[in-house]
Amino acid sequence: MQKIRNEEIDRLFEAVLALKTVEECYNFFEDACTIKELKEIAQRFQVACALEGGMNYQEVNKETGASTATICRVNKCLNYGNDGYRTVIDRLKKEGKLA
Domain boundaries, the chain: 1-32, 35-99
The CATH number given to 35-99 is 1.10.1270.10
pLDDT tens digits for range 53-76 = 999 999 999 999 999 999 999 999
In the predicted structure, residue 17 carries a pLDDT above the cut 90: yes
Residue 27: which region, alpha, beta or left (left: phi > 0; alpha: psi -120 to 50)?
A: alpha
DSSP secondary structure, 14-77, as one string: HHHHH--SHHHHHHHHHHHS-HHHHHHHHHHHHHHHHHHTT--HHHHHHHH---HHHHHHHHHH
